[in-house]
Chain A
């Protein structure tokens, strides 16, 4: 068959490559996102199959794993039966049931990408990857390095290719030896296309060749792509592009070929008769294997989700009309679900709310003497304001073990003759009594407790294009948005807490992933403190009055930060409280303390190495120690098992036990009949929660290709990534220690509002429709009046009818925690 000649569009192919490569930012800016974002225009299950057929990712649990879940009773028989009915085609139920249960189906597709590469080995008996990768990784690693090595890369201001040219020209040992390569390198007319023509020959294979080549090391290629797009993500910036990176790799390939088989064997298409080029990303037909996977996955998800929906509907909470003792806002984060539950239990008169942890403030932040700004709002927003910290009192701690002198010859000799004994003592103490050290990353270091923030803009002061602080109108907007979207517009308590969150860990390169996602992987302290201060201002309150929100003068907002790893809360600016407020605050602190200890105990049930059958305070102490222990790869379990996002009033969820699996966004449909606020909530919560959920899902089902594998052998590369060993590819995704208890269920967004309003919002927004109609996030709507539950299935709204479960009602959760380490069902909570 004759190949048809196709033109090769270099830009287009580069663009496509960038689209499919992993998009994880450097470690310090670690934010969760949908791992298969490139496939998001397809429906979820189509995407699973296609990603598998194209890249060989394992995109769902294996059949055996599902069948085992069924055997263990995790997947409900009734629901599985219903699901088969929903998905069966012209074939009978019995046919599908036997496929689901008994037959040994297997997925026999061979991934399209990776078919060309083995030619080198099979035909020329060389392992081209092994010849090229070490050199390529070395050059790009050295170029991007942010400060592991003592000596900086010689040409950090040049582009990658120019830097390599400069190395080649100025060094007495050359990067390249092959004359052909040197000619290519110095010829301004050389392009990726001309290099491909030299190596591959037949233009029909160029794209496939590049995909094969780049997906042999997606970690590095993805990092290069991300840095190219987000230049500021490296503090010590580099002008790197995927184009230059591929260019360099092609040159290294020619060099390797020159030194092994000789260049007269090139191009490939001249030497070997190639088959037809693989058609990348072709449309695929659903085969029975994937349909069975779909059925199992749906049944797995519904086995839990239907319990939740049923629990929400039957739950009854009497609404109290009295003013609550205090009110507390937390982030929507699933880790805050439990602390709210415990707080409401220890202080029954209080009221809690959930809202994204940046509290509506989209800003950049600069700590005092910081040389850079960090974004403290969702990554999708582009802030125009800057919040600055003043009056920092402490200096960053130093640790001699990180001193670069230990790697020099003579200082190294001095240090290694002496401090080694000190190292042994330090190690000894860390093993028996872990304590905070400079190696520790604390949630509270983001902003110092004793410092102050510049929140108000004066004289239109600007800095590098950012407005320093906010005007009164802007502050009013932020506070209004916060109160209106959560439905707190009347009945203000005298103390209202805004609690952000962050995580603390030691010896953990993934520390940014433990912080608040709504603050771009930082702690939420700046936001909670700043917004509280805004809400306390007289001028802001006056402006709010004009917007029909009347905050009594006796009400006071307090900002705070919840350390989700250690279960500690610190409050800001409490010195300025009135004596009466001080007294009340002191009382509430004890309630918070109690809630924190019980929260720690609830979390500890999944930490198998802690003896949990003890008093909550004691368990809490062990939990705190985990965060400073060098040897603890799981200081907390983060978003493990997240699968719900509930937008509605607290009365809906207050008496339902959700096992730290739910993002909770407070919202009162009655105050937002047309869904104006709801639109904003869905636009913000869907990509953040969906991104977290899907990253957990994919890292869990394919921890080797879509996740980072075990973190135990990880080696820090250039401060921006991790690899196994010293010459491996970068490992994006989550390490196995972060997902090993995660149940891979998709997120279900549950909204309390009228179905037509919700659907209208979603349909009008193309991005939201993609998330929901393509089923990357599932949708359920609870009709606020009739309590009927609707859910979106294959683009249609359906009514949920059957009640499968009996929801158990419990009073004593603590003993359940003490006896179970696995996921718990939904319980109805009895308030005492």
Chain B
């Protein structure tokens, strides 16, 4: 039966490919092919689950393909199916099918009809990968696709300013979650000395053994998992992204941000529960996090004057409670709660335009005029304070900005004085090459051995930060992002022996997408005027260029379109588990590289179109 697992991915993927064959104006064909795919998906899933229940309720696991095998490192795709997967597959399938049906008419004549359904399916596939993943590596593939397709859905109205800005915001926050997974993979590898599968995690004896040997590693892994889960499920203090994600067409907000995407953090917790449940302190932390989130989000929800923000915060509050249920080991209750909450919030979002009719009618017949009540000074103070705190959404949005962005900006500012000429470019690129030989010839020892990788990684990080303050020259920024990878590689080479295959894996993807992307940008700069200081909306006229450039950007950021994706993971394996500083420098580098690339894409291809013939919305709209 486990051999059937890939079909869960195959069906939507086929639907995606078929729908891509039709041109934009063939609305009916596009939607029909997707509906057929989703319909057969629901049928297949239901049958599969029923048969599985009837036969036995044992979990299924299948090791699909091994992508890279060297020493004790084995990167393989693995699928796993159990009760939790069954619930997620069923509810996400049913809901997606209903929403696809809904959107078929709702989006009629909307420019970008095809783009919507393509991204919709991409998103759905990413959820399937996550839910079926049998190990962290497989899960990470889905995790990355989820981030990018989220960005594309939020910024669906790509020529308005706010959707693009909010899309970038959510993407940036998602990157933090990605690092959670990267660190989890890195430390798990050191903990187990192999690429552990989720099935093995269920072996409580095995887990307990390793945990007693390395208690701190276990705690850090659990915290990294919790970080990833709470970012994706908009838990405290990451709550503010969810209401801001409500920029796309209402059905996409309903399904993704009202339900499936917001509940994927819970999935991660459930999937790894057998691991972190063994650490008591983590359970307490999860409960606390849930309690805080539930209270904080409820206070925000009750004073929101816009329909979607209100529903988003109510949903977050309930997910907080679900976190508690998971921590307490009430798996069945958590699953029921999760599915019900997901359906409820989706539906509430879908019917949110009806609020005007409904509440105005209610107000018309039942209005009670305001009467000032006698309140004690303290009561008034308490109520007003709570009101303002809720209205300000606990200032979580500016808080995140301050914590994550302001340092980058502050560091970036002085770096703008560094304005290298082309010659310097070239030397920057070539500079690391001799060092690679050096690493092979001389082996450093002692302090130098520890400091050198950190220094080089720091330098690489500075280069990435520099790209944020680059306002004029996109080509320069792009080039720096390519070289950055070379420097990261160098840092690792100094740290640990890195074999030729590892290097090839890592660099081939970078070079391919880097060079190709550079050519696209160069060609484009001959035809159009653009820089990084403003938005240019070039995708309006150059849809295809935008697509290929996006693909290159994804390649360059280690997205699973090239081998670099594997390389990133490999890179981490060469960092010892004591080297937290180096690991964080490099993870930070990866986060920022991704954000920088998306920011470039957004500025060049998205945002308001600069053409007097085309009407554009105001920035504030």
Chain A residues in the interface with B (C-beta under 8 A): 27-28, 58, 62-64, 106-108, 129, 133, 138-139, 141-142, 144-154, 156-157, 166-167, 170-173, 175, 216-219, 235-236, 369-372, 396, 399, 401-402, 406-409, 412-413, 415-421, 423-424, 426-428, 431, 438-441, 445, 506-509, 511, 608-609, 629-634, 701-705, 709-719, 723-729, 731, 737, 740
Contacts and interface: CB of A to CB of B under 8 A. Distances in A.
A724 B305 CA distance: 14
Contacts, number: 323
Contacts of B545: none
B337 to A, nearest CB: 5
Interface stretch (B176-184, B296-304, B423-431): B296-304
B109 interface: yes
Contacts of A141: 305-306
Nearest to A136: B620
A290 B337 CA distance: 62
A705 B617 contact: yes
B344 A724 contact: no
B102 A62 contact: no
A426 B352 CA distance: 15
A171 B363 contact: no
B159 to A, nearest CB: 9
Contact of B620 (A133, A171, A726): A133
B317 to A, nearest CB: 6
B612 A108 contact: yes
A193 B304 CA distance: 33
B340 A419 contact: yes
Nearest to A509: B356
B384 A423 contact: no
Contacts of B333: 417
- B250, B346, B354 — which one has the most chain A CB atoms within 10 A of its CB? B354
Given A170-B384, A715-B307, A728-B620, A370 B364 contact: yes
Interface stretch (B140-148, B194-202, B240-248, B268-276): B240-248
A421 B384 CA distance: 37
A424 B620 contact: no
Given A401-B348, A407-B314, A716 B353 contact: yes
B318 A424 contact: no
10 contacts: A138-B392, A148-B307, A412-B314, A420-B344, A705-B616, A713-B249, A719-B360, A728-B162, A729-B618, A731-B621
Given A133-B620, A141-B306, A716-B353, A417 B337 contact: yes
Interface string B26-43: 000000000000000000
B381 interface: yes
A476 to B, nearest CB: 32
Contacts of B383: 154
Given A152-B370, A401-B347, A419-B344, A170 B360 contact: no
Contacts of B298: 407-409, 412
Contacts of A445: 361
Nearest to B315: A416
B163 interface: yes
Instruction: For the complex of A and B, list the 10 residue pairs with the smallest distance between their C-beta atoms, beginning with the closest.
Output: A420-B340, A439-B354, A423-B347, A145-B305, A420-B343, A420-B344, A712-B249, A729-B620, A704-B617, A416-B341
Contacts of B307: 148, 715-717
A150 B391 CA distance: 12
A714 B353 contact: yes
Interface in B329-381: 333, 336-337, 339-348, 350-367, 369-370, 372, 380-381
B309 interface: yes
Interface centre among A175, A431, A445, A718 (most CB of B within 10 A): A431
B106 A413 contact: no
B619 interface: yes
Given A401-B351, A412-B314, A148 B616 contact: no
Given A420-B339, A427-B98, A630-B351, A408 B302 contact: yes
Contacts of A218: 618
Given A726-B243, A727-B162, A506 B354 contact: yes
A650 to B, nearest CB: 36
Contact of A726 (B160, B244, B250, B369): B244
Is chain B's interface secondary structure helix, strand, loop, or mixed overall? helix
Contact of A154 (B98, B341, B384, B612): B384
B157 A710 contact: yes
Contact of A428 (B98, B246, B358, B613): B98
Given A151-B302, A427-B343, 4 more contacts: A154-B384, A173-B389, A401-B351, A413-B321
B471 to A, nearest CB: 10
A713 B305 CA distance: 17
A263 B547 CA distance: 45
Contacts of B106: 631-633, 712
A712 B110 contact: yes
A608 B336 CA distance: 41
Contacts of A704: 615-618, 621
A407 B301 contact: yes
B71 to A, nearest CB: 48
B385 interface: yes
B612 A106 contact: yes
B206 interface: no
Nearest to B620: A729
Nearest to B372: A157
A702 B388 contact: no
Contacts of B156: 713
A427 B350 contact: yes
Contact of A440 (B312, B355, B357): B357
B344 A717 contact: no
Most central of B313, B356, B617 by chain A CB within 10 Å: B356
Given A236-B367, A396-B362, A402 B621 contact: no
| Most chain A beta-carbon neighbours within 10 Å: one of B318, B345, B615, B619 | B615
Nearest to A220: B620
Contacts of B439: none
A632 B357 contact: no
A713 B370 contact: no
B588 to A, nearest CB: 25
Contact of B359 (A157, A173, A402): A402
Given A154-B383, A172-B385, A609-B105, A630 B359 contact: no
Contacts of B208: none
A353 B366 CA distance: 39
B262 interface: no
Contacts of B162: 724-725, 727-728
A719 B310 CA distance: 13
B387 interface: yes
B94 interface: yes
Quick one: which of B94, B249, B365 has the most chain A CB within 10 A?
A: B365
Contacts of A167: 384, 388
B615 A149 contact: no
B108 interface: yes
B343 A421 contact: yes
Nearest to B160: A724
Contacts of B381: 170-172
B295 interface: yes
Contact of A372 (B253, B343, B367, B620): B367
A426 B353 contact: no
Contacts of B356: 27-28, 509, 511, 716, 719
Contact of B384 (A171, A396, A717, A719): A171
A640 B106 CA distance: 19
Contact of A151 (B103, B163, B308, B387): B387
A307 B47 CA distance: 62
Contacts of A421: 339-340, 343
B480 interface: no
B457 interface: no
